Amino acid sequence: MKELIYYSFLESSDLKRNFIEENKEYLYEVFSKILNCIKDGRKILICGNGGSAADAQHIAAELVGRFLLDRKALPAIALTTDTSVLTAVGNDFGFDAVFERQVEALGLKGDVLIGISTSGNSENIVRAVLKAKQKDLLTVGFLGKDGGKLKDLVDYPIVVKTFSTPRIQEVHITIGHVLCDFIEKSMFGA
């Protein structure tokens, strides 16, 4: 069992190292687009299911609260948190509509939608992205495996190329943390 622990940490760190070597220029481009939206007074909407829902909430909390710096709050909403909306929409329209309806209600032109899906095929995320594109939001996917359906739907797919869901999630939260750090330091200094 000691080997399991060691191997898990090694696998996670190797995946992160390989991911950033392949994607550092691309992440800078994507993060800069998101930063510009925030600077233009727009907001970030974030959604995901299960562990990805927790990641959506975590990232939104870091932006609204703070990541490392004491600074003004930044506009971010996790679409995973309002149980009344989630259950009403789920009951009346089906679970596949729970994020789509919120994007329709809250999303404005120039906002950002980040959809988090380890498979890239979550239907409720697909529908949220399609609605966001209709409303002219910038769409970003934190995806896994081969990117799934969302890879070709979002403006900026960020794909963690492994089939291990836990490892995908570990990279996704690192991407989220680095995005928060990037936005915070770009806007409020080191």
Q: What separation in angstroms does the CA of 181 have from each of 7, 154, 174? A: 29, 23, 10
Which residues are CB-neighbours of 189 under 8 A, at least 6 positions away? 69
Is 62 flagged in the annotation as binding? yes
Is 92 flagged in the annotation as binding? yes
Is 55 flagged in the annotation as binding? no
The amino acid occupying position 121 is N
Is 121 flagged in the annotation as binding? no
Burial environment of residue 91 by CB neighbours within 10 A (0 to 12, 13 to 18, 19 or more): exposed
Q: How many CA atoms lie within 13 A of 48 on its CB side?
A: 28
Kindly state the tokens that stand for 19: 């991911």
Give the distance between the most distant pair of CA atoms in the chain: 51
Kindly state the tokens that stand for 162: 């492994």
Give CA torsion, residues 147, 149, 150, 154, to 10 deg: 120
Give the rounded distance of the alpha carbon of 85 from its chain centre.
20
Is 91 flagged in the annotation as binding? yes
Is 50 flagged in the annotation as binding? yes
Residues annotated within a binding site for substrate? 49-51, 62, 91-92, 117-119, 122, 169
Residues annotated within a binding site? 49-51, 58, 62, 91-92, 117-119, 122, 169, 177
